[in-house]
């Protein structure tokens, strides 16, 4: 029982850690993009101020919306936090006995599903258009994510994210195979698509004809908008963490010593900031793809994930 209580405490601490740094990571991405575009840009702490501002304002809700519109921000935030409890951040101890990679993927799918419903529920033409685009993207991205992490499950012999991270971090170079790099590349493309980043979507645009994520939350305001933005930022960091600690978990703590946990904290911060830098470079270097070219990119990611699974059996 003591081990279960310890796992619960560690999982809660790791989820709160992700929640705390999520706005900071978004601010760093924006700051790097501004620097690359030769602009001063806002402070890296501006997302914290924006969310605090939203939480101090009242929400304006259309009389045409149903309970789906009102409950979606809370479901989105809750699903992301529950998923964070199952993902190893700075130590491999998580609530793995509650759920594995399939639960995590479908918790994140729940966020997408209710956000798309909320976009339709408001009755806005742009919200409906954005929701349909989101469903088109997710129809390819979701199988890709499952195949990518299944490939890691085949390599390590388990579907628990904490156990996958522990097996890879302990074995080191012994489990490094082509499937690892193929699956990580596929998951990285899925991360871009799932979080509405360039070239799939532009998170800074408010041009209605091109929006996907922004179009679905266009009718939100006040506290509900703050929850939607915070859950979106946390989801981005959650994907970064899965990419860092499921595919390349070296540095993560396998025991509860102060030195190991300190090294795990430093390792995850370095890896997340590195991925934030990569995202910022991509968004500053290329433009958004046309909508009907997105399936080409997403099919490439699915093919990479499929090759990762096939290469495990072939090689």
Is the pLDDT assigned to residue 241 strictly greater than 60?
yes
Is the pLDDT assigned to residue 175 strictly greater than 70?
no
pLDDT of residue 124: 81
CA distance to 4, 9, 221, 229, per residue, from 55 (Å): 35, 27, 10, 11
Q: In the predicted model, what is the mean pLDDT of residues 69-88?
A: 95
Helix (H, G, I), strand (E, B) or coil at 302: helix
Q: Say how far apart CA 75 and CA 83 lie, in whole Å.
A: 12
Share of the chain above pLDDT 90, in %: 55
Helix (H, G, I), strand (E, B) or coil at 248: coil
**Average pLDDT taken over every residue of the chain:** 90
Which has more pLDDT, 48 or 251? Answer: 48
Q: Say how far apart CA 182 and CA 307 lie, in whole Å.
A: 7
| 47, 82, 106, 294 alpha-carbon torsion, rounded to 10° | 10
Enclosing domain of residue 287: 2-314
Q: In the predicted model, what is the mean pLDDT of residues 127-154?
A: 89
Q: How confident is the model at residue 159 (pLDDT cuts 50, 70, 90)?
A: confident
Which phi-psi region, left, alpha or beta, contains residue 290 (left: φ > 0; alpha: ψ -120 to 50)? beta
Which has more pLDDT, 123 or 68? Answer: 68
Which has more pLDDT, 240 or 214? Answer: 240
Q: In the predicted model, what is the mean pLDDT of residues 144-165?
A: 87
What would the pLDDT profile of 273-312 be if each residue is shown by its tens digit? 999 999 999 999 988 888 888 889 999 999 999 999 998 8
Among residues 27, 24, 141, 22, the alpha carbon closest in space to that of 84 is found at 22
pLDDT of residue 171: 75
pLDDT of residue 108: 92
Query: How many structural domains comprise the chain?
Result: 1
pLDDT of residue 1: 57
Q: Say how far apart CA 206 and CA 218 lie, in whole Å.
A: 9
Q: Which two structure tokens, joined as six digits, stand for 167?
A: 């097996």
Is the pLDDT assigned to residue 80 strictly greater than 60?
yes
pLDDT of residue 310: 92
Q: How confident is the model at residue 60 (pLDDT cuts 50, 70, 90)?
A: confident
List, in sequence order, the alpha helices (H) in 86-124.
101-121
Residues in the chain: 315
pLDDT of residue 14: 95
Is the pLDDT assigned to residue 255 strictly greater than 70?
yes
Among residues 104, 107, 105, 80, the alpha carbon closest in space to that of 15 is found at 80
What would the pLDDT profile of 2-52 be if each residue is shown by its tens digit? 778 888 899 999 999 999 999 999 999 999 999 998 899 899 999 999 999
The answer to whether residues 301 and 137 touch, using CB atoms and an 8 Å cutoff, is no
Among residues 185, 190, 197, the alpha carbon closest in space to that of 26 is found at 197
pLDDT of residue 43: 95
Q: Say how far apart CA 30 and CA 43 lie, in whole Å.
A: 9
Is the pLDDT assigned to residue 174 strictly greater than 70?
no
pLDDT of residue 26: 96
Residue 18, burial from CB neighbour count under 10 angstroms (0-12, 13-18, 19+): buried
Sign of torsion, CA 40 42 45 47? Answer: negative
Residue 293, burial from CB neighbour count under 10 angstroms (0-12, 13-18, 19+): exposed
253 bridge partner residues: 91
Q: pTM for the whole thing?
A: 0.94
Is the pLDDT assigned to residue 207 strictly greater than 70?
no
Q: Which two structure tokens, joined as six digits, stand for 81?
A: 């936090």
What would the pLDDT profile of 108-139 be if each residue is shown by its tens digit? 999 999 999 999 998 888 888 889 999 999 88
pLDDT of residue 30: 94
């Amino acid at each position: 029982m003591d081990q279960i209580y310890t796992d619960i405490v560690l999982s809660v601490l790791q989820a709160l850690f992700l929640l705390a740094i999520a706005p900071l990571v978004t601010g760093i991405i924006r700051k790097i993009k501004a620097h690359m575009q030769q602009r001063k840009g806002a402070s890296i702490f501006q997302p914290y101020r924006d969310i605090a501002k939203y939480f101090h304002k009242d929400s304006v809700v259309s009389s045409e919306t149903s309970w789906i519109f009102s409950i979606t921000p809370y479901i989105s935030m809750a699903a992301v936090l529950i998923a964070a409890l199952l993902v190893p951040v700075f130590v491999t101890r998580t609530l793995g006995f509650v759920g594995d990679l399939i639960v995590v993927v479908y918790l994140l799918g729940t966020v997408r599903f209710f956000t798309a419903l909320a976009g339709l529920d408001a009755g806005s033409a742009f919200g409906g258009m954005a929701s349909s685009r989101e469903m088109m993207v997710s129809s390819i991205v979701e199988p890709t994510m499952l195949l990518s992490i299944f490939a890691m499950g085949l390599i390590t012999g388990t579907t628990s994210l904490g156990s996958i991270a522990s097996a890879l971090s302990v074995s080191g170079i012994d489990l490094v195979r082509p499937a690892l790099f193929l699956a990580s590349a596929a998951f990285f493309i899925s991360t871009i698509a799932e979080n509405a980043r360039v070239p799939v979507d532009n998170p800074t645009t408010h041009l209605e004809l091109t929006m996907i994520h922004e179009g679905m939350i266009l009718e939100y305001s006040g506290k509900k908008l703050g929850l939607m933005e915070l859950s979106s930022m946390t989801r981005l960091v959650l994907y970064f963490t899965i990419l860092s600690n499921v595919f390349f978990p070296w540095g993560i703590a396998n025991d509860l010593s102060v030195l190991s946990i300190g090294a795990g904290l430093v390792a995850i911060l370095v890896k997340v900031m590195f991925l934030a830098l990569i995202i910022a470079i991509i968004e500053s270097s290329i433009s958004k793809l046309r909508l009907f070219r997105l399936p080409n990119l997403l099919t490439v990611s699915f093919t990479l994930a499929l090759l990762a699974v096939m290469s495990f059996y072939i090689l």
